[in-house]
Structure 1
Amino acid sequence: MNVLKFLAVGLLSLSFFNCNNKDSQTLKPTVYTVGDSTVKNGRGNGDGGLWGWGDFIGQFLDTTKVSIENHALGGTSSRTYQNLGLWDTVNNKLRTGDYVLIQFGHNDNGPVNDTIRARGTIKGIGDETEKIDNLITKKHEIVHSYGWYIRKIVTDAKAKGAIPIIMSPIPRNKWQNGRIPRNNNSYGLWAKQIAEQEQVTFIDLNKHMSKKLESFGESGVTGTYFYLRDHTHTSAKGAVLAASCIIDDLKASTNPLKQYVLNEPKIILPKKINFFLIGDSTMAISDNPNTIGWGVPFPKYIDTMRVNVINKARGGRSTRTFIYEGLWDKAKTEFKAGDFVFIQFGHNDAGNIDKKKYRGSLKGMGEETQVVDRDSLTETVHTYGYNLIKMIRETKETGATPIVLSLTPRNEWPHGKVERRTDSYVTWAEQAANAEHVYYMNVNDLVATKYEGLGKDQVKLFFPQDHTHTNLKGATFTAKTIAETLKNSKASGLRDYIELPKK
């Protein structure tokens, strides 16, 4: 019995071992990315429109056969990434057959010891060291060369049976005589040297991506692959471009990771949100150069890499006619959760209620109505405030966020000051916004105050046709004022999407 029992236990153990062995063989290898913010920016969700290539590399690989984990962290150097224990986290997870994509360098050039970052490494790939008392950690530390830190990641990965791949740092969006300077005499060179010494795959991402960017030209790069405000971190398109360069070089290599590269990858960029502009001619597109709405130049102040500006404003419309003509119902079918809807009326709401044009709305915020006969039809006319609140509420129902703006100021200067209309449409727009707890901007006062700073003669140049409509210069003045206000307002929720030119 004892012998039989021993055999039974042995067979069970062997069976268990075989099952486990089979499971380990069917586990997908994992591709780990380690690096700085050019590999993973922030939380990797595109805050500020900035992305790292590690967030998109997985779209080029067959994720039914390989897993992707982006462990990069912004602000780190090859030294601080390891000192913070981030490499240990990855190293402890590594299994035979995994891959480690390594890219550092952008932050290694900083001071070795200071009270701000203390993240710099000794230049080169040598064994020289520098002993410091770290001003941040308050600990004694031996600082090594850039190459030493890269080599440590490589040898640790190899010891686990993983396959390291070293990359030179991506280029910065800095141009000299139509070209992007390379880092092939510094971090790119040192990364290559370590790869050669350790006999691992090297991808010259800096060189490959620089060539791609130069083929587009500086004007084709800035505002598409990089933001004007940031020469180091890429947009989503820039991150995809970097990832594609890595994949191209990988396919040309002998590295086994190439077997997981998709032949026809489907790249999905982050979905844009929409800014809908709903209003009258002071916002609308126009063929008349003397009646340009501020919505025309407005996109130049918006991050159009992440936002579509859709101008639905229509000249001659009031809150009443925009609704009556079906323009509102048609527009709101396009609103989606995450979108923003700018609503601005008032200039035409003061028109005739029961006479030709039929565009006037009742004054105020009340529930009162007036029935009007027009062309064998009857129309129930509501107050300006009622119509505005209707638009606000129906915008909310779509999941979009309404933004209420007062009407623009006219070129009218009673008593030497620009007319404010605080006794009517400006106040009613604010009351509607407050009643529905949505963001309100007093464009009338903001722009009028700036007009008064310019003076009558300068402002007159904005209004070549009449006292209401501006030319492009005047429309741009208003658009910039609105953009600046949104940028400076946390309550608007739009600061992140505003792109103001550098002064």
Structure 2
Amino acid sequence: MNSQTTLFIFVAAALFAGCATHEAPQPVQAALPAAVNTDPSAAARNLVLPEPANPALPSLILIGDSTVRNGRDDGQGKGPAGQWGWGNPVAAYFDHHKINVVNRAIGGLSSRTYLTGGHWERTLAFVKAGDVVVMQFGHNDASAINDNSRARGTIAGTGGETQEIDNLLTGKAETVHSYGWYLRRYIADIRARGAVPVICSPVPRKRWDASGKIARGGNSYPAWAAQVARDEKVGLIDLAGNVARQYDALGHDAVMQLFPQTTPDESTHTNWAGAELNARAAVAGIKALGLPQLVAALAPRAADIAAAEDERPVADASSVPQEQPRNAALPTLFIVGDSTVRSGGANGAVGWGERIAPYFDSGRVNVVNHAIGGRSSRTFYTEGRWDKVLAQLKAGDVVLIQFGHNDGGRIGDPAMKNRASGAGTGPETVEEARPDGTREQVHTFGWYMARYVESARAKGAHVVLLSPVPHKDRWQQGRDFEQFAQWDAQVAQAGGARFADLTMAVAGGYRGIGAQQVDGFFSDARTHTNDAGAQFNAQRVVAVLKGLRDNPVTAWLSAQGQAVAPVGGQ
């Protein structure tokens, strides 16, 4: 375990005092861990759970299982070494003069038994217009559908299947639905109250796959939670993916320290340090959703938590076709960038570069998309991908280059996967260790962009630098990627290239059609567009190219491209 992780665990342990709340003891089954597995019996239905402290304020209400609220929410008297759910430490990231944080999760329950046990009915009584209800279920939904101990399982998936049972635990007939059905029931009830539903995918277990990475759950509860969020158009906090990425970055030994040391086989329930890490990931997800009643109520200590990014895996180059100009006698429009430019349909994501060809006359120009997911201005250059573009480039061609989504973050942070570039446009470098033991001199974003401009212009080609397409939560006010746009403009001016502010061109288009339609343009929480979003953004790329004072693609436009109204550029 490294010193940074040790410091994190120490600080988390020091902060836990005073954050825990206490309530009446919960009955448990002696054969199971005492802190986490509430018996969904008549006694459990009489639990005393927290209520909104100030009904005049909006409330953030949490429902879920023991990974959200563990046992009596007191660490079993073991302090930070005990078992804790993330719903306890998350409260400290909000100003309680502005919002109530009400953790009504119960250990041992599933999406089904939280409803059928009567707990949801009592919680729903506190839900009012303007509140936000965050639900995280899944850890207990894979249990038996009918037995005489829990009877808490749900049907796998999100469909409309049902199973009729005589419940061995309650002695009553019951219709059991799918995991997704129960989530949709909560969503409908919350919306009926005028409140906002949010789904959390379940936090990952302390389990590693064959490659040494934290097991993601595959096509199971995290995927089903995300599917319901997409179908119902509600916010998703991807704790499953975000926490798993943090675990991978920390490494095996450090992750072991985030779980109770007295029970080394415990793989589900974290100690205080692990709950604090999960809480920070939840806050990052909340910031990414941009719900005004939550963002406005964040406490100062939340300021250093970056909004969670959607998962942006580094695409396997062997699975991405290497495109070639169709007709060597024609000029070529080359496109270079990341997954927002080409995603290939992965997880429903489509980049604008995959939908731009109809705006150009194939009898006058080739359109070749060299973009690849997970790359930054740095890695597209260091992996030799730019050399492959140069090998195809000739005088009179045009290159569109859009990077920035993967360039941010701290150099040296394992979560950045060796793709962060330095800030600015200067010559300074930072040394970074690579997984193979070698060390790399990492340059600034502007340095890499200047290399693209210089080498392409040396071949007689024209270059247009595009600022990145905006995030889903960053177009309504202000601007996204402000620094990257400034650096692109500086490099273009210094190197004889053109700059087009695609960020604001897309944001302006979004403002013209409104949030409801824009929300349907994304395949994930905030970064990647679906097919409809890619088509919209492709049209905005053409618009911003036409707005350039010296538009290099005018002669190549199809009738569809000619019909696009220009947007101002440089």
TM-score between the two structures when normalised by the length of structure 2: 0.41
TM-score of the superposition, structure 1-length normalised?
A: 0.47
**Quick check: which has more Rg, 1 or 2?**
1
